[in-house]
Amino acid sequence: MKIAFVYIDPSYQHMGPFHVGIASLIAYLKQGGHECQFFHLLGDTPDEKYVEFLKKNRPDIAAFSLITNAFPHLAPLAALTKQHSDARVICGGAHPMLYPEEVIKIDGVDMVGIGEGEGVLLDLCDRMQSGGDISDIPNLWLKRGGDIVRNPLRPLIDDLDTLPFPDREVMPFADSFDLNFMKRGVFMASRGCPFNCAYCCSPAMKRMYGGEKYIRFRSVDNLIEEVERVTKDFPQIEYHVFHDDLLPMKKDWFAEFTKQYSRRIRKPFEMNCHPNLMDKDIAVMAKSAGCALIRFGIESGNEKIRRDILDRHMPNQRIRDAFRCCDEVDIKTLSYNMVGLPHETRKQILDTVKMNAAVKPRVVHVSIFYPYPGTGAFERCKQEGLLTDKFIDSYYEDSVLEQPCISTDQVRAMKDRFEPLVRTYSRCRDVPAPFDKLGEKLIDLGVLAATERCVLRLKHRLSRGKAPGERISGGTCYAVHDGEVKVWEKK
Ligand code: B12
Ligand code: SF4
């Protein structure tokens, strides 16, 4: 069978055309004897280019990988696929997994893959090839006559080492190196996360699988073998990125990983960690293996918002300690932050700004809260009537919430001013007491008054040609280059 993977990527910013999930599926299907093709569909890709791709490659199956922000692009693409090819259309990925009913309804979509995609796609290709019946494949939902057949979930892949390494040819991995300093290898060592943050899709997927063992790790040997191979195949690579939800989740595994990584790879790397998991041991192990950057979710600097809205349970001191552990061994840090959370006021956003000013991450990442269907946060926003039907391609641009405690323009203004404010509060903290506290109070007052002015300026900029929903500020990009974490503004 010829299967064409389409990566709908409207908010493409700086990461290039590599998608670990699709690369895993391609490797699995190739191993099963099927021919895979790939189309990277960006926000500005003209329809003609996609039609040309279909006509040239004549796939039997068009497989769309979708996150929520890409979903509104699906209907016209499914229609184009049907109009210009004989391909059956199947969708999978985070959004179809958590919202299959909505996806299967779309005209032109024949099937939806729920859960992990490897087994369902291989069974589908094999059965279509042999002319067999496809209606009872686990993880597959399909249209049959006027009905929808909803097959149950198959068990999760228990041993991730049984999977082939993600394919880096069909999806042109080397093309991602064209972008600035981003000469990096990209890997996943695990699937799943033990935490239950209300805004995240990971717990929603875990719930879908009930009591099954959701968190799985590849063996260190298996992972390091892939890293070695990629380092050798792509000598341009300067550093490696582990996209796992939390790479140091299991201390023993991480100890073994860092030991082998430092011996066999010797390149800087970056990873995600959770403040609750971070301690001196992890920091020392990470440093010994060449870790250049650790990314932490602060998300909100206000304990009440974290606990009551985000289901992230940790005191402020824990966050400060986690960053301090990294500072002590000279590992740079990145903080993820959200503004415009449900019921969040400008003052509470300032708590997040101040937390960043206190822990001084090398890279500050800020986005506007976006509730993903299937998550606890989405349900809450829906129940409380906070959700609008606005569609946004990227959560750097706009809020989909409407709430009395803060206007959308104020959220956008706070998002736009977040990083300069972190710098300002940070400078204030360097002033001796009691002037530091006094300075902070004055800035608080200034900021709350100034956001009104910012909102007016923002409106002025919008009226000069930036439509609502278009990106206002570029935000921050970073990469490890010459062993240092370099930061630059997105265009
Ligand atoms: C690495 C990562 C990134 C990387 C790389 C992107 C990528 N897709 O590889 C970067 C940093 C670029 C990124 C960016 C973004 N990401 Co991201 N990312 C992740 C992360 C941490 C891991 C993805 C991964 O590799 N998973 C492992 C693989 C094996 O799983 P998978 O991709 O889901 O694929 C499996 C199944 O979904 C299925 N499948 C996938 N495609 C298909 C297709 C078919 C036909 C079938 C049948 C099955 C199928 O089979 C695969 C193998 O089993 C996930 C969280 C997570 N733990 O999954 C978030 C996640 C996917 N990202 C998310 C978001 C929101 C974004 C951004 C929009 C953020 C932003 N505003 O910039 C962008 C969008 C970029 C884009 N267009 O894809 C959300 C998506 C939520 C949602 N409901 O849509 C997630 C789920 C995190 C979250 N908040 O909960 N991301
Ligand atoms: S720690 Fe990260 S990956 Fe885990 S549930 Fe929270 S946000 Fe999701």
Q: The tokens of 412 are what?
A: 């956008």
Provide the CATH topology of domain 182-430.
TIM Barrel (3.20.20)
Q: Which of 12, 13, 18, 20 to mutate to test the pocket of ligand 1 (most atoms within 8 A of CB)?
A: 20
In three-state secondary structure terms, 82 is: helix
Q: Cα(395)–Cα(377) distance, rounded to whole angstroms?
A: 15
Answer whether 297 contacts ligand 2 (Cβ < 6 A).
yes
Q: Which atom of ligand 2 is nearest to the CA of 201?
A: 8
What's the average model confidence in pLDDT over 97-122?
96
What's the average model confidence in pLDDT over 153-169?
97
Report CA(202)–ligand 2 centroid distance (Å).
7
Q: Cα(69)–Cα(77) distance, rounded to whole angstroms?
A: 15
Distances (CA, A) of 57 to 36, 37, 42, 50, 260: 10, 8, 19, 11, 42
- Residue nearest (by alpha carbon) to ligand 1 atom 11: 15
State residue 473's pLDDT score. Answer: 45
What's the average model confidence in pLDDT over 90-116?
96
Q: Cα(156)–Cα(119) distance, rounded to whole angstroms?
A: 9
Answer whether 195 contacts ligand 2 (Cβ < 6 A).
yes
Answer whether 110 contacts ligand 1 (Cβ < 6 A).
no
What's the average model confidence in pLDDT over 88-94?
97
Report residue 471's pLDDT band, with 50, 70 and 90 as the boundaries. very low
Q: Which of 195, 244, 294, 335 to mutate to test the pocket of ligand 2 (most atoms within 8 A of CB)?
A: 195
Answer whether 90 contacts ligand 1 (Cβ < 6 A).
yes
State residue 460's pLDDT score. Answer: 53
The amino acid sitting at 295 is R
What does the pLDDT look like over 259-268, one tens digit per residue? Answer: 999 999 989 9
Report CA(203)–ligand 2 centroid distance (Å).
8
Report CA(7)–ligand 2 centroid distance (Å).
24
What's the average model confidence in pLDDT over 308-331?
98
Report CA(67)–ligand 1 centroid distance (Å).
7
Whether pLDDT at 272 is above 80: yes
Least confident of 119-133, 328-342, 468-482: 468-482
Q: Tell me what the pLDDT averaged over the chain comes to.
A: 90
pLDDT more than 70, % of the chain: 91
State residue 452's pLDDT score. Answer: 63
Q: 435 or 210, which is more confident?
A: 210
Q: Which atom of ligand 1 is nearest to the CA of 373?
A: 83
Whether pLDDT at 209 is above 70: yes
What does the pLDDT look like over 324-377, one tens digit per residue? Answer: 999 999 999 999 999 999 999 999 999 999 999 999 999 999 999 999 999 999
State residue 227's pLDDT score. Answer: 98
- Residue nearest (by alpha carbon) to ligand 1 atom 18: 243
State residue 9's pLDDT score. Answer: 84
Q: Which atom of ligand 2 is nearest to the CA of 299?
A: 7
Q: 490 or 322, which is more confident?
A: 322
Report residue 474's pLDDT band, with 50, 70 and 90 as the boundaries. very low
Classify strands 61-65 and 88-92 as parallel, antiparallel or unpaired.
Answer: parallel
Cβ contact 333:377 at 8 Å: no
SS (H, E, C) 168-205: CCCCCHHHHHHCCCCCEEEECCEECCCCCCCCCHHHHH
State residue 50's pLDDT score. Answer: 96
State residue 300's pLDDT score. Answer: 98
What's the average model confidence in pLDDT over 8-37?
86
Whether pLDDT at 465 is above 60: no
Report residue 55's pLDDT band, with 50, 70 and 90 as the boundaries. very high
State residue 470's pLDDT score. Answer: 41
Kindly list the domain boundaries of the chain, sorted by start residue.
2-150, 182-430, 457-490
Q: Which atom of ligand 1 is nearest to the CA of 202?
A: 90
State residue 462's pLDDT score. Answer: 52
Report CA(385)–ligand 2 centroid distance (Å).
25
2-150: CATH superfamily: Cobalamin-binding domain (3.40.50.280)
Whether pLDDT at 421 is above 50: yes
- Residue nearest (by alpha carbon) to ligand 2 atom 6: 197
Q: Which of 191, 199, 200, 277 to mutate to test the pocket of ligand 2 (most atoms within 8 A of CB)?
A: 200
Whether pLDDT at 35 is above 80: yes
**H or E, element range at 325:** helix 316-328
Least confident of 136-140, 311-315, 463-467: 463-467
* Number of other residues whose CB lies within 10 A of the CB of residue 491: 8
Q: 474 or 332, which is more confident?
A: 332
State residue 70's pLDDT score. Answer: 87
Report residue 451's pLDDT band, with 50, 70 and 90 as the boundaries. low
Cβ contact 103:112 at 8 Å: yes
**H or E, element range at 142:** strand 140-144
What's the average model confidence in pLDDT over 245-262?
98
Answer whether 9 contacts ligand 2 (Cβ < 6 A).
no
